[in-house]
Structure formats: C-alpha cells, structure tokens
Chain A
Amino acid sequence: MLSALILLPSIAAAIVGFLPKNIRADRPRQIALIAAIAVLVLNLVLVVGYNPNSEDLQFVENLTWIEWLGLNYHLGMDGLSFPLVFLNSLLTVIAIVATKESIERPRFYYAMLLVLSAGAVGAFLAQDLLLFFLFYEVEIIPLYFLIAIWGGERRTYAAMKFLLYTAFSGILVLASFLGIVWLSGANTFDYETLRSQGLPVATQVVLLIPLLIGVLIKIPIFPFHTWLPDAHVEASTPISVILAGVLLKLGTYGLLRFGVGLYYEGWLAVAPTMATLAAISALYGACCAIAQTDMKKVVAYSSIAHMAYILLAAAACTPLSLTAAVCQMVSHGLISGLLFLLVGIVYKKTGSRDVTVLTGLLNPERGLPLTGSMMILGVMASCGIPGMVGFIAEFLVFRGSFPDYPVQTLLCLVGSGLTAVYFLLVVNRVFFGRLTQSLAKLEPVLLIEKLPALVLIVPIFILGLQPSWMVRWSEVEATALVKTDQQITIAKAKSEQNQDFETNLISANEIGISEQIKSN
C-alpha cells in the first residue's frame, strides 16, 4: 500500500520522461496530474484505514534489501509522517496545476516534479535510517534541475547553493547515522532497533550535533539559512510551493524523528541551546523580512521565522509541544504554499514582485481584486489571526513551550507580532493605494490560475475552526515520542552498562595494540 505512494509517481515520472518527442504538448501535464491525483486519492483511502489511536506503525512493509549492510526496505506510517505525506500529495497536485501550461521541456519538468514528490514521500515513510538517507538525497537532484533549468535570472547560483548546502546536510545526517550504528554495535539501520540503543548522553550529543546541523540547514535555521531566500526567489512558483511546503518539512521531520527519537537524552541536553537558537532565528527571519522589497523574499524570510517555532516546540519536548510542532508543519505548509501561489499570480500578471513598484492592485476593475483578497487572507493566516490554521498551531506551540522556555517563547511571540508588520507593509504597498497607469492593463486572472490558491484556503479555514481534525492524527505519536522519567532511568542504566563495556573494549584494544607493538 505505502509502496504505491512512492511507485506510482515514480512510474508516472518514467512514463512522462520517456514519452516520444512529438507528443502533444499538454500530454505530460495530463499524465502527471492524473498520477498526482491518484496518489491523493490513495491517501484518502489511507485516511479511512488509518487508526490514529494506535502508536504502532501502520501499513508496514518490510523487505530485506541488502542484508550485509543492514539495509531494509522498511516503510511504515505513523502520526508524525501521516500529515506530511498527505500535505505532500496535496501540494504536488497544486504545484502541477499551478505550472504554466506553456512551460519549456514539459516532459523533463513533470518527470522531475514527480520524482521529487516520490522522494519526499519515501523519506517520510522510511523506517530505516539508510533508506531515509537515500530518499533524502534523491530529492536533491530533481530540485536542483527544477531550479537550475526553470528558474529566474540567477538560477545557476541559487541552484548550486542549494545543492551544496543540502548535499552537505545529507553527509552530516549520514555521518550521524553511521555513527549511531557503529557505536551501538547494531548490525542494522532499522529505526526501532536503534531507538532502544542506550548510548551515554555525551556520545549521544556528539552524534546528535552533525545530525542537528544537517537538519538545521534543511529547515533552515539561522545561521544556516542563506540558501533558502536565493532558492525561493529563483525557483518558479510551483517549485517554491513544494520547496516551502514539503521539502523544508524534511528537516523538521528529521529533527523530530531522529533528533528527538534516536537521541532523546542527548536532545534534552542540547534543547535549551536549540530553544534560544529558535528564538534568534524567529526574530532574525522577521527582521530580515521587514527590510525586503521583493515579495517572494519576504515570504521566504517569513518561512525562516515560522519554521523556527517548530524547533522551539521540539526543544520543549512535551506531548503538547510535539503535537504542536506537527500542526505548525501542516499550517506552514498550507499558508506558505498559498502565499507563494499568490505572489506567483502577481508576478505573472504584472511582471514584478517589487513592493516599491507595485501599488493599488486591489482595484476591482483593472487590478487583481480576488488575488488581493486572498492575499489578505493568507497574510492574516500567517500573522496568526484566529479562525485560520496559523493561529491554533502557533498557540499550541507557544502554550506547549512556555512552561519550559518562557523567555524564548515570549521572544518567538514577538516574532509572531512582527509577522504582521512585514506582511501588512507588503499588502498595504502592493494592493492598497491607487493603481498606476503602467499597471492598468493587467490580464484577468483565469479560474485555473486562481484554483490552486482557492483550494488551499479551504483547509486553512477548516483546520483553523476545527483543529481537532488535525491534532488527532499526531497526538498519540507525539506522546509516544516523549519518554517518561521511568524510561529515561532505564535508558540511563543501560547506557552505564554500555559505558562499562566500552571502556573494557577500549582498554582491551589498547592492550592489544601495545602488545602488537612490543612483539615487533
């Protein structure tokens, strides 16, 4: 069942990619759209069969792949991955619809988009560390092409920057994974097996740091964020949607699944630092966003600020805050997706994203009134106005994190207040005011162009008014992720045993070496 989620887009990608050259121009788009919708339908089927009250993995598939390496094709779905897989399939459909129909080299484009989607699903579902890493790396290649070929003016620079950063992130994640397998003496990369390792806290921290830097690059958190604004600005609209909505979530997902899941005690040790880093990142992103004049850059920096809340929630590490982290991922995915779509419409119609040039676009006759109205909604959702999903996700994050990190939480709240500043400046400059003559001959926005944004608004409202529909999927899993005090004591006892064992091992090694030397 789960393999289908990966295989379906992959096969469709292969078909699209190897279509004969003289095919009708819109055929690749149709095939890609059908495949993406099929995946979405499949997801809906999974919703019916999914039991949110169980903390076990569901729809498990486990095949041995490379036995001597300890690599298994082990897929499973739980409350952490489920919302993200769903989000991914929704945003893939939206990205395909939002792609302009006259795009160059459509076969390659849609194939890459589908591979990207398949890679992300695979990463969310993988229950094997190495398998996760493979999917994590797979997703870099299509995105590199998607930015480098269909991007804006500085696309080569942006794509290369993205590639280098993310590849570096992948290497660090891999290093951490290899480290935990070697040090815990396991012969498998299986997630569940490694979760119950009992490494001493110091070792955990040492292994956690590369992983952390890896995911912090991906999320991205200050100071590892500079690839994101460039990538967003140069990427085309649908790619920005996928990048913000899905690919950034790979970082936070990795953080929760592996940072918190594998190195629980180590994570608790570094959590205060991370909470502070989250607060800095939130304020830094917000301040940078205020100073931008490119609408897309504003949204990109706001992504940095909003993703930081997830780091804060992860640092607090309570059932509430971890549930909140998942909610914030969903919320950010929907809202930033919406904002990028709308900025894309504005750019397409006016040819500019510069807030100092655009003005008065809300004009009902010659402007973009519906786009403007949706922009106001999207901006308000991002500011955390109640009734929309952004508010409840942020409220849960703050409420969950406040008992542990009051100061950091309050700073993040200030960041949330600054959201209103930068987004309101954008709306005020771009949509309010008098329409200038140079902008007066805008083409009307077609229904197909508005449709993706309209579709995204629906869940933003529904989940904002009825958040329990979002929370219930991940609450059990988030609770399971938090270890009780008892579990921590057991883990400690185990790690002490291990430590004894390790020191014995090391001393034994040393004796062996010196004996060897002596015999020389």
Chain B
Amino acid sequence: MRDFLLQNCWLVPFYGLIGALISLPWSLGSIRRTGGRPAAYVNILMTAIGFLHGSIAFAAIWSQPTQNIRQTFEWLQVADLDIFLTVDISPVSLGALELVTGISLLAQVYALGYMEKDWSLARFYGLMGFFEAALGGIAISDHLLLSYALLEMLTLSTYLLVGFWYAQPLVVTAARDAFLTKRVGDILLLMGIVTLSAEGAGLNFSDLASWAETSPLTPIAAALLGLALIAGPTGKCAQFPLNLWLDEAMEGPNPAGILRNSIVVSAGAYVLIKLQPVFTLSPVSSIALIGIGSVTAIGTSLMALAQIDIKRALSHSTSAYLGLVFIAVGLGHVDIAFLLLFSHAIAKALLFMSIGGIILTTSNQNITEMGGLWSRMPATTTAFVVGGAGLVALMPMGMFWTMDKWLDGDWQVSWWLFAILLFVNAVCAMNLTRVFRLVFLGKPRSKTRRSPEVVWSMALPMVTLTVIALLVPSVPQSWSFWLSLTPPLDNSDSLITQLATPGLIASGVIGLILGATMELRRADARPIQVYLRFFQDLFAYDLYIGKVYNLTVVWAVAALSELTAWIDRLVVDGIVNLIGQITIFGGNTLKYNVSGSSQFYVLTILLGMSLLLGWFAITGHWSGTIADWLSSSSS
C-alpha cells in the first residue's frame, strides 16, 4: 500500500484539480440551492486526501533503497522533438509537495471562516484547488516545459484570484498588472526554453547539468540564455524590476494571499534552483542573479518600512527574502536557497494568517488606525509573534538557523553578502516591530475596540501552523546537503564565520530596538522634517517604480500602438482607398471621351503609338529590333 502510494505520487496534484472541477457547477451557478459550501467541503476533502497521500509517500520514501524515483510520460513526439514529461519523486520534491498541500489545506480551512460571507465561495475554492494543483505539480515536475506550463497555470490563477472581487477598481488594475508583469517574465522564460530545446538540451532538469558541461553555446548566447531563464522566476518571485505586482496583488482575498506570499513565490524560486546548472554556463547569469537579488532585498526592505496597509507592509518583505534566495542561487548555494524558501514560507504563511484575522475582525487594513489588539486577540497575537520570530534571525527559530547555516563556514561567503544579510535582517526586525506596536500595543482605538478573537475555523489552522513554526528549526539544523554539487567547505576559522552568530543576533536586536523606539505616526500625521517626508514618500510609493514604468514602458507601448493604428488607418488603408478613388475618378473622367467620332479615336491611337515609340527611342530598348525592321522594310 505504502509502495503503491509512493509510486503514484504524481496523482497528488490532480486531487486539487479534481476538487476544482467538481466545484464548477457551484461556481458557474448551475447549483444555487445549496450555496457554495458543498464545493468548499469537497475541495478541503480533496486537499486533505492529497496531503494524506503525500504524507504516507513522504514517510515511505525514506525507507526506499533508491530515493530518486523518476517517472516519464510520453506526451508529444513530432519530427525531431520528443517531449517526455518527467516526474521526479525524491525526499526533497515530496517535502515540497507536503509543504504545498499542507499550507493549502490550512489556508482552505482558514478560508471557511474568512470567506464565510462571500457569495462566490465555490469559485474561490475552485480557484484554490487549481492553484494547489499547479503548485503541487511544480514540486514534483522534473521537466522544464511541464514546469513552465504549471507556472503559467499559476499566472492564470493568480490573475483570477487577485481579480476575485472584480467589481472593485483597484482589484481590476491589480489583476491586470499581476498577469502582465508575470507574463513579461514568462515570455522571456519561454524564449529561453525554446532556445534550450533548439540547442539540443533535453528539457529534463536532471539532464541539464550533463548538458551544460558539453554545451556548444557561445559566451554571448549562454549569457542571454541565462538571463532569459532568470526572467521567468524574477516575475514569479516578485523581484526587481518585476516586483510591483505582489504589492498590488494584496487587493485579493487573504487566504489566497497566504499561499501567494509563502509558496507561490517559492514556486518560481524552486524552478530557478532547478535551472541552476544552466547558470554555471556564463558568469553573467550569476552576476544578474546576485544583482537582482541584492537590489530587491535592500530596496523592498526599505519600502516595507513606510507602508501603512497591513498586507502591503508584509508583502514587501516577501520580495526581500526571495531576493536572498536569488543571491544564494547566484552563488550556487542551492541548499541554502531551499532552506531560505522553507523557513520563509512557514513564517510568512503564519504572519498572513494572523493579519487575516485582524483584517476580518476590524474590517480595516490601515495599521495607523489600529492598536491594543493583544489582549483581545491572544491567539492571533501569538501567531504574529511566532511568525515574526521565525522570519527574523534573532531568536533560535527557522530563519536564524538558516542564516547561521549559510555563514557557519560550509560556504564561501563574502563581506558584502554578510552585510546584506545583516541589513535585511535588521530592517525586517524593525518593520515587524513597528507593525506589532501599531497593531497590538497601545490603547484600543475606535476601529479595534470591538474586536473578538477569530472563529474556530480560522483559529484552528492558525494555531496548528504556530506549532509547526515552532518545530521548523529542526529542519535547517538537521539538513544534510542534498543538492549541492560541490561538497561543503570548511572555513570555520574565517572572520565572518566567527562573527556570524553574534552578528545576526546583534542585527536582530538593533532592528528590534529601532522599531521599538521609532516614532509612530497615527492616521495621516506626517513628519515635519523635509528629509523624513522625502524618504517616507519614496518608500511608501515603492521608490516611484510604478510611476517610472507608466512613463516609460507603458507609455511606449501605448504610443507605439497608437502610432501603428494611425499608420494602419491613414497610410496603409489610405493608399488602398486612394487607389480605389483614383480608379473611380479615372473611370468617371474617361467616360466623357466616348464621343463616337472616329477622328478622336484615331488621334488617341496616334498619340499612344508615338509615345511608345518615343519611349523606346529614349531608352534604346528594342532599338536593334527597330533598326532591323527599318532596314528590312527599306530593302
């Protein structure tokens, strides 16, 4: 039985899909009498089955002699192109699958409470099932084209989930921006896939490493290929310059936000990690990865500081941590990238569950209008504290052990990386403390005065995840390096290694103190100092990146399309219509020549002939023939 479940692990993503399909009659309104609840239960059940199946398989794989089971399905064979979709079942991929189904299950139970009053509950659950199917597929996919297809499914379901409340204007633009931003990355990724495939690489991730060793690419081609492949995950992980969609996507329902901020962004990074062998082809790839990661990590950490929307204040730090993942992949520290993803996913999911409760009970997202919730919502407060502690390297929780592992001498780590880690850690701690103070401490304010603790359906997953988050530290501690191609180094006597643990704790403490002492502003109070105002605006408006895009890319596409349409209407079609006009005009004019007098016709013929002859005489064409003709007629 266990073996059977393990062999058929590829079924797990389909459970979510089946749930989504079953909920179609409810979401399309064919069944109205029961409301959307049955669809919700069906989806939760399917996810639970998937989680159970995955758990048994996950337990079973450890006892297997070979811990890598690869299954191939022939999909398409045409001319010289063979596409075998491959599924890779290993402890890592099953672990990822567990994470996906587990968080999805918790988020769906959570949504029972959060979405209780929504009229289109069935549509929401159907989309969640679809979402989960795509994520689960990515976890076990070993084929680039399959992963691409699943990433596109994610793009589509993100669009639909963000656009869930499509009647609101902000939602409409948010859904559009999410789709188009991701699409930019995806198209570039597709370019990369087409190139890879045309260059003879089998699209299996497992074969990429051996292909990369013998790759026939020129340096420029390898660099471009690397950049194209990076672009896809850049969009998915909300990295600069494709980072703004995640912030806007916070307009969507919060249970989807739990998934989005924890595992959806991780899915992009997961694919990125699997593509890592290709990035070894060109130094440009790793420079780009590190550059993108660093800029995003620093930039979005700062942006988070000035946000007053509770979801946006946290979503920016998602980009920041994913930036660290990008850096890790760029350096080839694949195991660390995995651990970062894992620790971040659990902590962020918990944080989003916590703030979901706050949003629901206060019907408010503006943190400057909150306060004093700690005594009213103890479970939610605990969840926030545990989640925050898991995200910041201060207490011995997930992220602390992960970062510590990065710096403890197994890897070659430079000073700049150490600095970035400390910076991100400090700013994140500061931001979380700021949010905590605004939301939970202080006196209750008008919007938080009547706020009871969340209902059981939300409390149960929240508390469960709190417990899980407390257990997370065991994973980075016991992680043996599964994925790295090179064996770990031993630099334990380098200065960074020795400074690592105290440095991390110190940065966390500094962040905490800064956050605890910084002046909090309520409602629309603004600093008086000009420089503070400048920075507040700069960060609050995402470094004006959105405005810059509007003035450059968006403007350019709009202007170009207007220009093309203008040319199409006036020039291309204009010429066609002009020819038509000329023909009609010509015909109308010439009809007056039909006079019936033969003299006129003879004159016309004569004129025509002389024009023709004159033309021949000038160009010399056929002159020989004419000469010949003249000479023969004279004789």
Judge whether A421 and B557 touch: CB under 8 Å.
Answer: yes
Measured between alpha carbons, how far is A444 from B148 in the docked complex, in Å?
A: 38
**Residue A190 CB within 8 A of the other chain:** no
Task: Kindly list chain B residues whose C-beta atoms are within 8 Å of the C-beta of A223.
Answer: 572
Task: Kindly list chain A residues whose C-beta atoms are within 8 Å of the C-beta of B184.
Answer: 417
Judge whether A417 and B183 touch: CB under 8 Å.
Answer: yes
**Given A386-B148, A386-B153, A475-B78, CB of A226 within 8 Å of CB of B573:** yes
Measured between alpha carbons, how far is A421 from B553 in the docked complex, in Å?
A: 12
Measured between alpha carbons, how far is A409 from B171 in the docked complex, in Å?
A: 34
Size class of the contact patch on chain B = 35 or more
- Cβ contact of A468, chosen from B75, B119, B183, B557, cutoff 8 A: B75
Task: Name the distance in Å between B197's Cβ and chain A's nearest Cβ.
Answer: 6
Judge whether B78 and A323 touch: CB under 8 Å.
Answer: yes
Task: Kindly list chain B residues whose C-beta atoms are within 8 Å of the C-beta of A27.
Answer: none
- Cβ contact of A396, chosen from B29, B78, B150, B195, cutoff 8 A: B78
Judge whether B78 and A373 touch: CB under 8 Å.
Answer: no
Judge whether A424 and B179 touch: CB under 8 Å.
Answer: yes
Task: Name the distance in Å between A342's Cβ and chain B's nearest Cβ.
Answer: 15
Task: Kindly list chain A residues whose C-beta atoms are within 8 Å of the C-beta of B573.
Answer: 226
Mark contacts of B166-190 with chain A using CB atoms, 8 A cut-off: 1 yes-contact digit, 0 otherwise. Answer: 1101011101100110011001001
**Residue B562 CB within 8 A of the other chain:** yes
**Residue A185 CB within 8 A of the other chain:** no
Task: Name the distance in Å between B34's Cβ and chain A's nearest Cβ.
Answer: 16
- Cβ contact of B191, chosen from A370, A413, A431, cutoff 8 A: A413
Mark contacts of A69-102 with chain B using CB atoms, 8 A cut-off: 1 yes-contact digit, 0 otherwise. Answer: 0000000000000000000000000000000000
Q: Which B residues, 9 to 41, have Cβ-Cβ distances below 8 Å to chain A? A: 28-29
Task: Name the distance in Å between B194's Cβ and chain A's nearest Cβ.
Answer: 5
**Given A318-B79, A471-B78, CB of A370 within 8 Å of CB of B28:** yes
Measured between alpha carbons, how far is A319 from B187 in the docked complex, in Å?
A: 25
Specify which of A223, A420, A435, A478 lies most central, judged by the most chain B CB atoms within 10 Å of its CB.
Answer: A420
Q: Which A residues, 267 to 320, have Cβ-Cβ distances below 8 Å to chain B? A: 284, 287-292, 318-320
Judge whether A479 and B179 touch: CB under 8 Å.
Answer: no
> Closest B-chain residue to A433, C-beta based?
B172
**Residue B76 CB within 8 A of the other chain:** yes
**Residue A398 CB within 8 A of the other chain:** yes
**Residue A380 CB within 8 A of the other chain:** yes
Judge whether B29 and A403 touch: CB under 8 Å.
Answer: no
Judge whether A364 and B29 touch: CB under 8 Å.
Answer: yes
Judge whether A386 and B152 touch: CB under 8 Å.
Answer: yes
Judge whether B163 and A520 touch: CB under 8 Å.
Answer: no
Measured between alpha carbons, how far is A421 from B573 in the docked complex, in Å?
A: 24
Judge whether B183 and A420 touch: CB under 8 Å.
Answer: yes
Task: Kindly list chain A residues whose C-beta atoms are within 8 Å of the C-beta of B628.
Answer: 514, 517
Task: Kindly list chain A residues whose C-beta atoms are within 8 Å of the C-beta of B80.
Answer: 319-320
| Number of A residues, CB within 8 Å of B | 67
Q: Total A-B residue pairs with C-beta atoms closer than 8 Å?
A: 143
**Residue A518 CB within 8 A of the other chain:** yes
> Closest B-chain residue to A161, C-beta based?
B576
Task: Name the distance in Å between B276's Cβ and chain A's nearest Cβ.
Answer: 23
Mark contacts of B114-126 with chain A using CB atoms, 8 A cut-off: 1 yes-contact digit, 0 otherwise. Answer: 0000011000000
Q: Which A residues, 379 to 419, have Cβ-Cβ distances below 8 Å to chain B? A: 380, 383, 385-387, 391-392, 395-396, 398-400, 402-403, 406, 409-410, 413-414, 416-418
**Given A362-B166, A468-B75, CB of A399 within 8 Å of CB of B149:** no
Measured between alpha carbons, how far is A230 from B314 in the docked complex, in Å?
A: 51
Mark contacts of A417-431 with chain B using CB atoms, 8 A cut-off: 1 yes-contact digit, 0 otherwise. Answer: 110110011001001
Task: Kindly list chain B residues whose C-beta atoms are within 8 Å of the C-beta of A425.
Answer: 176
Measured between alpha carbons, how far is A416 from B522 in the docked complex, in Å?
A: 47
Task: Kindly list chain B residues whose C-beta atoms are within 8 Å of the C-beta of A226.
Answer: 568, 572-573, 576
- Cβ contact of A380, chosen from B120, B156, B175, B568, cutoff 8 A: B156
**Residue B629 CB within 8 A of the other chain:** yes
Measured between alpha carbons, how far is A391 from B148 in the docked complex, in Å?
A: 11
**Residue B548 CB within 8 A of the other chain:** no
**Residue B564 CB within 8 A of the other chain:** yes
Q: Which A residues, 498 to 519, have Cβ-Cβ distances below 8 Å to chain B? A: 514, 517-518
Judge whether B79 and A320 touch: CB under 8 Å.
Answer: yes
Measured between alpha carbons, how far is A284 from B572 in the docked complex, in Å?
A: 12
> Closest B-chain residue to A327, C-beta based?
B78
Judge whether B175 and A403 touch: CB under 8 Å.
Answer: no
Mark contacts of A49-81 with chain B using CB atoms, 8 A cut-off: 1 yes-contact digit, 0 otherwise. Answer: 000000000000000000000000000000000
Measured between alpha carbons, how far is A478 from B81 in the docked complex, in Å?
A: 14
Task: Kindly list chain A residues whose C-beta atoms are within 8 Å of the C-beta of B79.
Answer: 318-320, 323, 400, 475, 478-479
Task: Name the distance in Å between A395's Cβ and chain B's nearest Cβ.
Answer: 7
**Residue A152 CB within 8 A of the other chain:** no
Judge whether B564 and A386 touch: CB under 8 Å.
Answer: no
13 additional contacts, CB 8 Å, given A284-B568, A364-B120, A471-B76?
A: A288-B565, A290-B558, A319-B79, A369-B29, A395-B194, A410-B191, A413-B190, A416-B187, A417-B184, A421-B180, A421-B557, A425-B176, A468-B77
Q: List 15 A-B contacts (CB under 8 A).
A: A288-B565, A290-B558, A292-B565, A363-B167, A383-B183, A385-B156, A391-B149, A400-B79, A402-B195, A410-B191, A425-B176, A428-B172, A432-B171, A433-B169, A475-B79
Which residues from chain A sit less than 8 Å from chain B, CB to CB? Answer: 161, 164, 222-223, 225-226, 284, 287-292, 318-320, 323, 360, 362-364, 369-370, 373, 376, 380, 383, 385-387, 391-392, 395-396, 398-400, 402-403, 406, 409-410, 413-414, 416-418, 420-421, 424-425, 428, 431-435, 467-468, 471, 475, 478-479, 514, 517-518, 520
Which residues from chain B sit less than 8 Å from chain A, CB to CB? Answer: 28-29, 75-81, 119-120, 145, 148-150, 152-153, 155-156, 160, 163, 166-167, 169, 171-173, 175-176, 179-180, 183-184, 187, 190-191, 194-195, 197-198, 557-558, 560-565, 568, 572-573, 576, 580, 628-629, 632-633
